[in-house]
Structure 1
Amino acid sequence: MFTSRNGKLKRTWTKRMSTSVKLPRLPIPELRTTLDRYLKSLEPLLLEEADSATAYESAYTLRAKWADEFNTGLGRTCQERLKALDRASPHNWLDDNFWMKKAYMEWRSPLPVNSNWWLAFQDDTQLPISESERVKDSPRYTHWQIQRAAWILHRILEFRSKIESQEIHPDTTRTGIWLRESTFKMFNVSRVPQVGCDILSLPDSSHPAASSVVVTANGWFYGLPVISRSPAAIAADMTAIVHDVEQRISSGEKLVPVGILSSSNRDTWAANLAHLLALSPSNEETHEYISQSLLVVSLDHTLAPLTIDGHLQSIRSTTANASNRWFDKAFSLIVDPAARAGAMGEHSPCDALVPSIVAEYGIVEGLDAAQFGNTQSSKEWRRLDWVTDDYISNQCTQAQEDAEVLMENSDDRVLWFSEYGADWIKGVAKQGADAYIQMALQLAWYRTRGVFTATYETALTRMFNKGRTETIRTLTRDSRAFVLAMVDSKETDEQRLTTLRRAIQTHTSLTREAATGRGIDRHLMGLRLMLKPGETSLLLEDPLFARSAEWKLSTSGLSAGHLFRGTGFGAGFEDGYGINYLAGPDGIKFGIESKFSSPHTSTEGFQNAVVGALRDMQRICLSGHAMVGEVSSHL
């Protein structure tokens, strides 16, 4: 629990806690219910594979037999083991034992693109001069860049303080508890590479960095105290930091860009970090300072392209600015010389919705010029330098080359669909916006690939103590029927609309189950991890069990982000897509990422398919209204 050192604030905290609600414990679903729902999720995949009704029935019956055997045999044993584990767990069976390792820490892939999320902010309309004027002379750093960075940081810290004091989102609601706990997970924490399985650093409120941020500029790192300081004071010290960087560059000081090492394969980074820490105790101090700091502020010396896509890719990181990052950090604020800003973060401490809520608070009020006066630097900032050798220098060169391949292969773009949005979907089509968009993505996928794929949508289990996420399996028998009706020229719009409504109803039911602790994927993972060496199950060893969770279409909706130009996360498979979206009142914003290296994907092609799907779905919904009108006119 995070508490304030301020006595008055602490008394307020204690008083409010007495009226707080208590979140229930994450349940373990009934085994038979999970197995039945799992079998149902296989139906569209089995229909794809079967060349006849008989073949489908035979394949389904076999899986049903394996499920029955699992239910009465080994599965029941695993269920009891899971219950015993839950009884011994302080919070719940999932979060205390499995989730961080299996979902994040055991992954060995580089964090950029693969695990980090990214947000590109709207421009600050309060800046008194235009973007072109701000960068007219193409300086490495600008006055407006520093002021915007200081202002957004000030606002983010204000949000953190108000959450801590419960001035906003108090513990009187379940959402308040979830948001407070989740918000503090994104500060003062960093992922730490280790061979085989990473760990998260543990916050230490007594550490000097606990009230500081790390500022990166041109690949150099600096520590800057920020708590209880004004935007002007923060800006003055940031100005002093970039002046120090300029002097180091002009004097010919050679930088070994250690930050780029955090972009590497996790085992490679673990080995390089161990080498760094063995070189000098000061390296241990620097790494600990970065880990314990509130967050990272990256002042980029390169301009992001003027396009939305270019800005988004710059925030995600490019080969030009990758060494000016610490990819392990849970939250990094990024600002370029034109004062274009965004954020990037490591996904494991909390889900991306949380930093998007914090970031939106940071930018909802534009820069207040009155807050910035002629303030002098406090000189409390410090260099965070590394002791390096030839081995580390060579490893940095290799890491830069690897990052270049990784980032240039990422086809990351924004789609703003402005023809209609959530208001029309809810008011005219009379459908839930999220399920409606999911059906559009199913249709777009099929039209571009000609086959169906297992689809992941994130559901938050935030109503439970230490809840994180569950999977909504969007591909269902009903969503498949809808897509096939849309591509079958023999079907009428009335028939297509009927299948759409049925598919949306099914998806809405699955969403409700997932959010209320009745999803299947976390439970199936827990059961599988309860197997002891030598124990086997035909159900869990079935190749279709693995294929049903190959999320080549990985999706997530955002409930925050109206002030973001774009958002993004990476595809989980080489031939898949990573998609997040926000349904605004009058439009829908999509962030879509795929890989240039795959001949089966194209972000631009998928964008076009999404637009076509949304237009066709609107047309059949409107035709349904027309048919209702015709019937009414004859009554």
Structure 2
Amino acid sequence: MAATLSLQHTLPKLPVPTLEETIAKYLKTIEPLTTPDELERNKELAKDFLKPGGLGRTLQQRLLDVDRAAPDNWLDDTWWISKAYHEWREPLLVNSNWYILMRNEYNHPTEFYSTVENPAYTTFQVKRAAHLAQQLLDYIDTLYRQNIPVEMTRSGPLCMHQYTQLIGMTRIPQAGCDRLVNTPFPSPSKHIVLIIDDQFFKIDVVSKDNKRLLDGDMERQFLDAIKQLEKIKASAPIGILTCDHRDAWTKAREHLIVLDPKNRESLQVIEDALFCVTLDSAAEATKADRKNDFAEWAKFGMHGHGGRNRWCDKSLNLIFERDGKFVCHGEHSPCDALIPALIMDYIIRKPTDLNAPSTNAIIDAPKHLSFVTDAKTQEHLKAASATIEALSKNSDCGIVYFDEYGSDYVKKVVKASPDAYMQMALQLAYYKQIGQPCATYETGSTRAFRRGRTETIRTLSTDSYAFCKAMEDSSVEPEKKVKLLRAAIAAHSKYQREAGNGKGIDRHLMGLRLCLQSGEAHGLFQEPVFGKSGAFLLSTSGLFAGDNFVGTGFGAMYPDGYGINYLAGGKTLKFGVESKFESKVTSTREFGEFLRQALRDMRTAVEQTLPEDQRKVAAKL
């Protein structure tokens, strides 16, 4: 087995596509969004952009120089984190952070008993939190020994760099553009942070003689911290500030660290921690049932109890409710959500031992991280609470749970890519609801390249639009509908392959625009359709089967759009959907119904074209 980072040097650099191929693809992607006259005007502007000596040629040469100077990746080394994440000043909650709702234990209890230390918490909650924290620490140890296998595709290895960007990583707010602070890889940190009742505790994860603890030891540490709640002088709920607008949090943080040296010390312990564990104490368990599309639990995963008991800047947060339900919540900038999703899928497989062993090692008691505050801090907290309340009230969350068929059916009967098929279902659902197409983003991975992150897969195409119109036209024969479905799937799969090979257009266009100098402009970038084609009202991303997940999600990019993360299980398809209550055109619940109907309509069309014997087989899948 190749060591985790041993093949990094073999990976190629992310290519800079040619101007001709990018502009040709761009013109093709805007066709469904333009009138014939608008398309013709954009084609003329494209010719001017591409002409010898034109601005396009100049920008391309500047970008090639950026590429030459980049040690690993022209995009990641130069612009990506700042432009895609850190310059965006909106709150991380809903707008940027992701969540994963994890399945319950197979032997999950139905009765929960309060801890002796504090009735706000339950014994199973503490045991499960201790167990999964230890499972994650075991995984981290394996990663640090570089024993996590290199992920491979038919084309070769994938970049494993993102695995080094998750542990001990925190985003800190700064004026205009945030920064990441992290301990080196492997991290020298030997602690995690436990968050309970808006208080923060440093929890050592090794004994005084540098031995890793067992589940029972971690459980003892958590209970010790819970017990301390009665004795300590509680600090103000500083975690709320991490949920605020980034500029507001910047000012509040600067005020804190100038106010008293203790605040810098406490912040640094949190920022250097390997990860955070949260125990929530709400008396009423969050409802998690399919009857309401898991809406309440999805909302909890997105922003919790009004931003309480959180540290949104941390790359990885394990959150446990009183009844042992588990949510993973993370900051998006250092690492795409696929990596923590793979890790969570791994660590949850081993059940909690209700009689977990201990080492009885000598361990430092949990240390309460106190904060010194004043009237100004109270103003910051009040403003942050108002921001979070408005943000959470406007967030329309849900999980569309579809178990009438899954990816097994798509592969065996439709004989198509499940991802492309689900993308067409999303296109059709949107068309059913809104009556027109919209620019659609799907995350494409560029991990075939060194330090590769993502590229946009532009799902909307002339083929997908033709498919949607045909599906909603009762006069069109099933054979024609299925033919158009297959053409749309083929077009999507082709674009997906090209994006994964570094031949997408959005990152290239971004790089060209970032090479513009003062006073330079081009009509191609100023056309209304340029903005419209990049305003992704459908922002989507797929993970994997996700059988250990109830749902996953992130926020919509635009007030009138949807944010959709989906899981293609063999028998079940799950879509985490978020939109805004303030929108007059979107509704998560209505979209869910249109999505279910789209999936049913697609199946009906496919089966109407099958011979009778194959239709009987298909009905069983």
Structure 1 stretch displaced more, 437-446 or 174-183 = 174-183
CA root-mean-square deviation:
2.4
1:217 maps to which of 196, 207, 214: 196
Taking the aligned partners of 1:18 and 1:504, their CA distance within structure 2 comes to 36
Q: Which residue of 1 aligns with 2:92?
A: 111
- 2:338 is matched with 353
Q: 2:176 aligns with which of 196, 199, 214?
A: 196
Is contact 2:580–2:586 with CA below 8 Å preserved after alignment? yes
Partner of residue 597, structure 1: 582
Task: Tell me, in whole angstroms, the C-alpha distance in 2 between the residues paired with 1:384 and 1:20.
Answer: 39
Match of 2:24 in 1: 36
Report the secondary structure of 1:590's partner residue: strand
Shift of the alpha carbon at 1:101?
0.9
Match of 1:6? none
**Could you say which residue in structure 2 is the equivalent of 1:299?**
279
Structure 1: tracts of 5 or more residues without a match = 1-11, 51-55, 631-635
Alignment of 1:311-330 (within 5 A): 311-320=297-306, 322-330=307-315
Match of 2:387 in 1: 402
Alpha-carbon shift at residue 316 of structure 1 (Å): 2.1
Measured in 1, the distance between the counterparts of 2:227 and 2:416 equals 56
Q: 1:298 to 1:176 in 2, by over 3 A?
A: farther
Q: In structure 1, the residue corresponding to 2:351 is in which secondary structure?
A: coil
Q: What's the counterpart of residue 491 of structure 1?
A: 476
Partner residue, 2:102: 121
In structure 2, give the amino acid aligned to 1:552: L
Change (3 A) 1:207 1:418: closer
Q: 2:376 and 2:4 mapped to 1: Cα distance?
A: 54
The offset of 1:184, in angstroms, is 2.1
In the alignment of these two chains, the number of paired residues is 601
- State the Cα distance separating 1:142 from its structure 2 match: 1.4
SS state at 2:508 partner: helix
1:520 aligns with 505
C-alpha deviation, 1:377, in angstroms:
7.7
Aligned equivalents of 1:203, 1:516: Cα separation in 2? 32
Q: Aligned runs of 1:214-253 on 2, under 5 Å? A: 214-227=193-206, 228-248=212-232, 253=233
1:263 to 214, 225, 243: 243
Matched, 1:556 2:541: yes
Task: Please say if residues 421 and 489 of structure 2, whose CA atoms lie closer than 8 Å, have aligned partners that are also in contact.
Answer: yes
2:68 pairs with 1:83: no
Pairing partner for 2:166 from 172, 183, 186: 186
Following superposition, the deviation at residue 108 of structure 1 comes to 0.6
Change (3 A) 1:512 1:455: same
Report the TM-score when normalising by structure 2: 0.92
Give the alignment partner of residue 259 of structure 2, picking from 263, 279, 286. 279
Relative to structure 1, is the Cα distance of residues 62 and 203 closer, same or farther in structure 2, using a 3 angstrom cutoff?
same
What is the deviation of 1:246?
3.4
| Change over 3 Å in CA distance of 1:347–1:83 after alignment to 2 | same
C-alpha distance in structure 2 between counterparts of 1:469 and 1:559, whole Å:
16
1:201-247 alpha-carbon deviations (Å, 9 max, x no partner) = 13257997x12111110000111111422111111111100111134
Among candidates 555, 558, 563, match of residue 570 of structure 1: 555
How far apart in 1 are the matches of 2:58 and 2:425?
A: 41
Residue 618 of structure 2: aligned partner: none
Cα distance between partner residues in 1 of 2:6 and 2:92: 41
Instruction: Trace 1:37-56 onto structure 2 (pairs within 5 A).
Output: 37-46=25-34, 50=35, 56=36
Report the AA paired with residue 59 of structure 1: E
How much does 1:371 deviate?
2.8
Whether 1:94 and 2:82 are equivalent positions in the alignment is no
Rounded to whole Å, the distance in 1 between the matches of 2:553 and 2:151 is: 31
1:27 to 15, 33, 48: 15
1:467 Cα shift?
0.1
Deviation at 1:157, TM superposition (A): 1.4
Please report how far the alpha carbon of residue 374 of structure 1 lies from its aligned counterpart in structure 2 after TM superposition: 9.2
Counterpart secondary structure, 1:575 = coil
**Alpha carbons of 1:16 and 1:387: their partners in 2 closer, same or farther (altered >3 Å)?**
closer
**Partner deviation per Cα, 1:223-278 (whole Å, 9 max, x = no partner):** 11114221111111111001111344xxxx45411110011100010011000010
Are the aligned partners of 1:28 and 1:523 in contact in 2 as well (CA < 8 Å)?
yes
Inter-partner Cα distance in structure 1 for 2:519 and 2:8: 47
User: Within 1, Cα distance between the matches of 2:583 and 2:340?
Assistant: 31
**Residues 545 and 570 in structure 2, CA contact (< 8 A), matched pair in contact too:** no
**Cα offset for 1:133?**
3.7
* Structure 1 letter corresponding to 2:14: L
Of Structure 1 and Structure 2, which has the larger fraction of its residues in helix?
Answer: 1
Q: Is the 8 A contact 2:195 2:279 kept in 1?
A: yes
Inter-partner Cα distance in structure 1 for 2:164 and 2:462: 41
Distance apart, 1:136 and its partner CA: 11
Aligned-residue identity in percent: 39
Unmatched 5+ stretches in structure 2:
207-211, 616-621
Where does 1:421-432 land on structure 2 (aligned, <5 Å)? 421-432=406-417
- The aligned amino acid for 1:260 is I
Alpha-carbon separation, structure 2, partners of 1:333 and 1:206: 21
Residue 373 of structure 1 deviates from its aligned partner by 5.0
**1:379 CA drift (Å):** 3.4
CA distance in 2, matches of 1:330, 1:22: 28
Alignment of structure 1 residues 442-453 onto 2, 5 Å? 442-453=427-438
Deviation at 1:345, TM superposition (A): 0.5
Name segments (4+ residues, structure 1) moved above 6 Å: 15-21, 135-138, 171-177, 205-208, 627-630
Cα deviation digits, residues 73-120 of structure 1 (max 9, x gap): 111111111111111111111001111111000001000011000011
2-structure distance, mates of 1:559, 1:18: 25
Which amino acid letter does the alignment assign opposite residue 149 of structure 2? H
1:479-532 per-residue CA deviation (whole Å, 9 max, x = no partner) reads 000000011122111111111111111001000011110000000000011111
Q: Please state whether the residue corresponding to 1:94 is helix, strand or coil.
A: helix
**Higher mean C-alpha displacement, 130-139 vs 106-115:** 130-139
Q: TM-score, normalised by structure 1?
A: 0.90
Q: Which residue of 1 aligns with 2:144?
A: 164
Distance 2:561 2:593 in 1: 16
In structure 2, do the counterparts of structure 1 residues 530 and 374 end up closer, same or farther at CA, with 3 Å as the change threshold? closer
Deviates more, 1:306-315 or 1:474-483: 306-315
Preserved contact between residue 414 and residue 589 of structure 1 (Cα < 8 Å): yes
Distance 2:15 2:158 in 1: 17
Q: 543, 558, 580: which is aligned to 2:528? A: 543
Q: Higher mean Cα deviation, 460-469 or 617-626?
A: 617-626
Whether the aligned pair in 2 keeps the contact of 1:41 and 1:475 (CA below 8 Å) is yes
Take 1:609 and 1:205, find their aligned partners in 2: how far apart are those partners?
A: 46
Matching residue of 1:62: 41
Q: Which amino acid aligns with 1:71?
A: L
Q: Give 1:482's aligned residue.
A: 467
Distance 2:185 2:41 in 1: 56
CA separation in 2, counterparts of 1:238 and 1:305? 22
Structure 1 residues 139-178: aligned runs within 5 Å: 139-170=119-150, 178=158
Distance 1:254 1:203, change over 3 A: closer
- Structure 1 position 193, deviation (Å): 0.4
What CA distance in whole angstroms lies between the structure 1 residues aligned with 2:599 and 2:567?
Answer: 14
1: CA distance between counterparts of 2:185 and 2:476?
Answer: 64
Change (3 A) 1:179 1:135: farther
